[in-house]
Chains A and B, each alone.
Chain A
């Protein structure tokens, strides 16, 4: 009886991609992570699972795909990466790089510096280093740290890993790092057909994810949604996949929006910077416009999550997720960002400030997606800054995150905004701050009273990332810090 009940009927669309240099066509169950797929279907165990939620980097693999005219190599957390996304890409795992008899230069150098102890984190570090060195000629210290901050080593080998990374960075250029079998796939990666659209896993026993869909056009996206009103959208998956892996949440249908060209655009218009909702943090970070025209955003991006997560996560996901401690939200609020929302019926634009309704509730209607995020141009005579406070220096969710914008006309403040995350159910603008500053000169402002008035606006909660009192204190100190800087600038 058991036997029969267990029989599962599986219909799958196949995907085609490269695995360590070899092109393969594979059945992929809906929603399975690349890590689980490597273990369960390929019996490749070199890639390790330690947390299954994006925090440790033990599962780091590298994916290569064409982007802006080159093949980019990106380190990602395979535990959060749906295998369905692999279509048309090159998946490089630790099994591909070197052999014990013939180590890759990265492996050789790590061995030389005794950069490993128990070895459980080691494959992940090797892969993070591989992506780093494949993409950067002689990266500096900050780039190295950014590439490795998403890899935990409880044996604490960081010092020797850093030394090895420094030597590698000094000695090797990407051409020596990327092996020939990788380069050989590059040409083919440009000429892949578009991904298929549907992945079904049908079984007697309900799975966590039964169906994974890849719309190719906006129309198809909304058609899919009409067919599956219980569907969820997935972009980078760095929130969704954690809910799936850890909270064991069931997602009957996932609609992946990352292949839609409309959502992958990044362009500057008169009304500001338009960011497609599927653009990743890393793409934004690397964008020249962001670097020059929105330097604060550029800086903020570096403080979000880890390199692996930044390679997947999106601004759209951060906004739709509507977490009170979403790191981008306060800055976007003070920058007067707005959203283009699209459904099968209409496209509408709403200010970001109107988007957050109540705790984790947004103005998104059922079946509506965020299409673009628009950030108006930044005025030249302005002070814009953010402050993130969290327990750890890196890869940590904020206890409190704030952002401020002050625009001057001569020395009169004509516009002042302060937004805070982590101090109420939603990321929010302070009304008092705007009230108390607008029309004033900096020198006439009573800082203590601004602090106490703003503080009164918020009733933070106590949770594991901080007590209510601590959060109150952070509100005070963040504001104080901004004023200290403003005063310094004025001098």
Chain B
């Protein structure tokens, strides 16, 4: 629709002039916070002595659980997480006390003087162990259809196994931060890097014991979030709020990279136990899976993440008999949290792994077996939502054609025959990704649009800009409705005084919800302006037209049959103002027709699905365990995009994160629950050399009815799954070197050599 529109903040970013929280001169009297973090994973606090630390000159205040004026509770879904633990420490890195000092160095010195005594308690880190002990956040959840037991018994073939995926550090380049500033009348303003303005506002007010309207949230933009600031920002915002409230001075909480990596929650590691039954064509007849999400020390978003993993366990395949069980395990790791994909990648990985196994066993082509099982229109998901507008078979066929699949496969075979050290492999993966928050109430949003007297426009929504270019998309939507150039529109920061009760900007719904709310607001204004235009066109051009024949386009307003006799937008706005017509509107949008019954495990949780397929070809060095990605080709069904280049950027970025997750991001903790690779020199995220040598992304438009604002579709999360094609390609390559090689996750050089161990290809 509007690829010619560039990133609205682009020129600012490119010149280092865009505003990020805390990348600005300090305020007068600003205090700096440093924390005493728990050194143990699970313990009973026996004594906390801050007296020596308090004496250090320049230390203004030391804050502990005792200092909290309101309720020491930051949980949302389940109220189980204290800001500071009062008696029981739950994970390594949990903040125990906060020092406020005149500079960071002094604050650090003071932290070292705090004495914490504790009695260590047994800790759990392994989800299977937690499952056995029934340590979890909810009762085991079930979504089921058909008779899995019988179908498994009768199936010609069965397989069973255990599949694990590891966690992932968000590594947003802008670390967690909040600047809290006290205002008159005990009010407080929080400049917080959060995806969830409503949550931060409510919880900060709870901690301070003041009404929600005394807490003001201001979010200019985020330097990346990826889910890590959906819930992850809350604790730090509350810390800053508490500090500012108690000292009546501005307080900055800003984590260093190493702190951020050590103590913030990550993508949930999953362990899954499964059984599958299938026929000789590779058609899956029955699937029984138990998903164990390693939730960490508090509930956080684990329940919803588990739920999304369950909703995506069958990925893009129709499975007649299916039982999906899920359990959110309570362990002594930092509370794991949202990360792009929100459980779906973890669920999808398991079934794709199984399909690879079945294909191998039956010697069926990996594309063929996926076509065999692919959803068709009219099928129902395990939770009963009907599939419509699904072009999966088409997408597979287009992919095969674009990549010249048969020839490619042959070339790979020939290569592998002629090479021992280097092996190539192909991986294919489809995605069906449900768009909507599965917590139905979150699917609502607001926007406020002002048209100013000169025709320039200000738009506020509840959405947070974090690089996904929500602002650009919202501006495109409003520009389209009002028929004015995009540059005439300012999309404002997210501020609770302009937009209250905003849902998190998450679940790939940002532009659906906020774009629609902005559209509705703009349409209201347009309607009022249209009435005025009828009058003005009559006054100015003696035209008698009815409102529905009036066109707003390129800053002009005219009768559709006579564009020359027009009024310009500014003129119309001034006229409307003189006519005392409102030039602002509030837009409210809720996603239609959503429901889900958690007890029955059925409903219509998604507004629509995003579909796509990807193919990766890799070359593995069986001696060194390294690989290169020769090509990655994607067919992405994208509705009517608001801006193709933005969507392409989201796809490319998500793919890189997916590749990172499954090939290099190696998140390990030791037997004491301490993250070992919690700094950028040991935890490696993809760099420019990790790009596939050839990356081809084709957007397949669809005239889908089931889409959102102006026919567009959510884009943030689904493409992360494409990155997993690289893992499956590597697995295929490993099997070329060693038939029974079982590549573990992530496919680092170490895990490659491990699965090939004993192999000595000489000559």
Contact = CB atoms under 8 A, between A and B. Distances in A.
Nearest to B170: A154
A159 B468 contact: no
Given A53-B681, A149-B688, A162-B688, A117 B749 contact: no
Interface in A140-189: 145, 148-162
A465 B257 contact: no
Contacts of B750: 391, 399, 466-467, 470
A55 interface: yes
B13 A480 contact: no
A51 B259 CA distance: 10
A46 B15 CA distance: 7
Interface in A303-350: none
A181 B17 CA distance: 20
A117 B16 contact: no
A478 to B, nearest CB: 8
A393 B687 contact: yes
Nearest to A116: B13
A470 B753 contact: yes
8 smallest A-B Cβ distances: which pairs?
A: A46-B16, A118-B467, A119-B13, A120-B223, A156-B653, A156-B656, A117-B467, A94-B16
Contact of A55 (B108, B222, B681, B749): B681
Interface of B: 6-7, 9-18, 20, 23-25, 57-58, 102, 105-106, 108, 170-175, 221-226, 256-258, 421, 466-469, 623-626, 645-646, 648-650, 652-657, 664, 666, 668, 676-677, 679-682, 684-691, 695, 748-750, 753-754, 757, 760, 762-763
Interface in A33-76: 39, 43, 45-48, 50-53, 55-56, 58
Interface in A359-391: 387, 389-391
Given A117-B467, A154-B226, A474-B753, A391 B688 contact: no
Contacts of A391: 664, 666, 684, 748-750
A50 to B, nearest CB: 5
B763 A161 contact: no
A39 B22 CA distance: 11
B625 A98 contact: no
Contact of B684 (A5, A208, A392): A392
A120 B173 contact: yes
A185 to B, nearest CB: 20
Contacts of A43: 25
Given A158-B656, A392-B664, A480-B762, A95 B626 contact: no
A156 B763 contact: no
A153 B655 CA distance: 13
A154 B171 contact: yes
Contact of A107 (B15, B221, B225): B15
A51 B257 contact: yes
Contacts of B256: 52
21 contacts: A48-B173, A94-B16, A107-B14, A114-B648, A116-B7, A116-B14, A120-B172, A120-B223, A151-B688, A152-B171, A153-B173, A155-B649, A156-B655, A157-B649, A158-B687, A162-B691, A391-B666, A393-B689, A397-B681, A473-B757, A474-B624
Nearest to B256: A52
Contacts of B682: 397, 464-465
Given A119-B9, A149-B687, A464 B16 contact: no
A252 to B, nearest CB: 15
Contacts of A477: 623-624, 753
Interface in A427-484: 447-448, 464-467, 469-470, 473-474, 477-478, 480-481, 483-484
Q: Is the interface of A mostly helix, strand, loop or mixed?
A: loop
A425 interface: no
Nearest to B759: A477
B58 A393 contact: no
A114 B645 contact: yes
A157 B763 contact: no
Contact of B625 (A6, A58, A389): A389
A121 B14 CA distance: 9
Contact of B6 (A2, A114, A394): A114
Nearest to A165: B688
A152 B173 contact: yes
B652 A160 contact: yes
A156 B686 contact: yes
Contact of A152 (B10, B654, B666, B687): B687
A58 B14 CA distance: 12
Interface of A: 1-2, 5-6, 39, 43, 45-48, 50-53, 55-56, 58, 93-95, 97-101, 103, 107, 110-112, 114, 116-123, 126, 145, 148-162, 205, 207-208, 246, 248, 387, 389-397, 399, 447-448, 464-467, 469-470, 473-474, 477-478, 480-481, 483-484, 487
A6 B106 CA distance: 10
A114 B472 CA distance: 12
Given A95-B15, A119-B13, A391-B748, A480 B690 contact: no
Among A1, A53, A478, the most chain B Cβ lie within 10 Å of the Cβ of A53
Contacts of A116: 7, 10, 13-14, 467
Contacts of A122: 13-14, 16
A485 B544 CA distance: 87
Nearest to B749: A389
A422 to B, nearest CB: 12
Nearest to B59: A2
Contacts of A55: 680-681
B7 A111 contact: yes
Contact of B646 (A98, A114, A394): A114
Contacts of B108: 248
Contact of B173 (A2, A112, A154): A154
B467 A119 contact: yes
Contact of B624 (A2, A52, A100, A389): A389
Nearest to B682: A464
Nearest to A107: B14
Nearest to B756: A473
Contacts of A52: 256-257
A216 B641 CA distance: 63
Contact of B690 (A6, A246, A393, A484): A393
Contact of A51 (B468, B655, B680, B688): B680
A47 B16 contact: yes
A475 to B, nearest CB: 12
Nearest to B24: A45
B653 A117 contact: yes
Contacts of A390: 749
Contact of A120 (B224, B468, B624, B646): B224
Nearest to B472: A114
A46 to B, nearest CB: 2
Nearest to A44: B16
A405 to B, nearest CB: 20
Nearest to A121: B173
Contacts of A156: 652-657, 686
Contacts of B105: 205, 207-208
B687 A98 contact: no
Nearest to A119: B13
A9 to B, nearest CB: 15
Among A52, A110, A392, A393, the most chain B Cβ lie within 10 Å of the Cβ of A392
A157 B652 contact: yes
B7 A114 contact: yes
B15 to A, nearest CB: 5
Given A114-B648, A159-B652, A154 B172 contact: yes
Contacts of A207: 105
B468 A117 contact: yes
A347 B760 CA distance: 48
A118 B466 contact: yes
A149 B223 contact: no
A196 B468 CA distance: 48
Among B468, B686, B754, the most chain A Cβ lie within 10 Å of the Cβ of B686
Contacts of A50: 173-175, 257
Nearest to A109: B14
A385 to B, nearest CB: 13
